[in-house]
Chains A and B, each alone.
Chain A
Amino acid sequence: AQTVTQSQPEMSVQEAETVTLSCTYDTSESNYYLFWYKQPPSRQMILVIRQEAYKQQNATENRFSVNFQKAAKSFSLKISDSQLGDTAMYFCAFISPPNSGNTPLVFGKGTRLSVIA
């Protein structure tokens, strides 16, 4: 079974600084997608960034970037120039291909990030 591990339950960062959230996963699949979702206090789930396993280039979305290490099964999220609005729970998620026999979407337990002024 696929598993996703976020080893940092809570983190904090000063405004304008850079922070990295860790995520590791376990799978025997070679083709899959990885996502980072943000959940602010409003409870709404918001997609931050996605990475396709077959792409070697790390995904980037404005201040958000990932460090995808396929061999190490690691998928960390870097937030640059942190803003107060980045305060939220962040979830790493793994999607396996259809008909693989695995639960299609698995989330980590989340990292609560606080941005401090």
Chain B
Amino acid sequence: NAGVTQTPKFQVLKTGQSMTLQCAQDMNHEYMSWYRQDPGMGLRLIHYSVGAGITDQGEVPNGYNVSRSTTEDFPLRLLSAAPSQTSVYFCASSYSGTVLSEQYFGPGTRLTVT
């Protein structure tokens, strides 16, 4: 198993550009989520999904869109990047849709918006 994979590992965007951060897992996990990590702020939940076709907002959803068309993939879209979105982004998945289980994290994507 590859576990949770994220691409790209690093990305630099200009303000106003759009891009999609990719996340995939091969563990047949129902629950997937996106976090951002900023210095001194810990990890904050952006969006999450409890199964294909179901998504919901987390703590900091503004400026981000998600969709879950398959169990394996959970892309995060930035429609118009802003410097405030400079951060490290983590995707995670867990076994059951109840979320009461261990989160498996991807390696992260470092995004810089200039």
Which residues of A are interface residues toward B (Cβ below 8 A)? Answer: 4, 6, 9, 33, 35, 43-45, 47, 50, 91, 93, 95, 97-98, 103-110
Given A44-B107, A47-B103, A107 contacting B44 (CB threshold 8 A):
yes
18 contacts between A and B (CB under 8 A): A4-B42, A6-B42, A33-B101, A35-B102, A44-B108, A45-B92, A45-B103, A47-B103, A50-B102, A91-B43, A98-B97, A98-B100, A104-B33, A104-B58, A104-B99, A105-B45, A107-B43, A110-B42
Q: Complex Cα distance A104/B92, Å?
A: 13
Which range contains the number of B residues in contact with the other chain? 20 to 34
Say yes or no: B42 contacts A98, CB within 8 Å. no
Q: Complex Cα distance A32/B92, Å?
A: 19
For B32-71 the 0/1 string (1 means CB < 8 A from A) is 0101000011111100101000000011000000000000
Residues B74-113 near A (CB distance < 8 A): 88, 90, 92, 97-103, 105, 107-108
Partner of A98 from B45, B50, B88, B107 at Cβ < 8 Å = B50
Which residues of B are interface residues toward A (Cβ below 8 A)? Answer: 33, 35, 40-45, 48, 50, 58-59, 88, 90, 92, 97-103, 105, 107-108
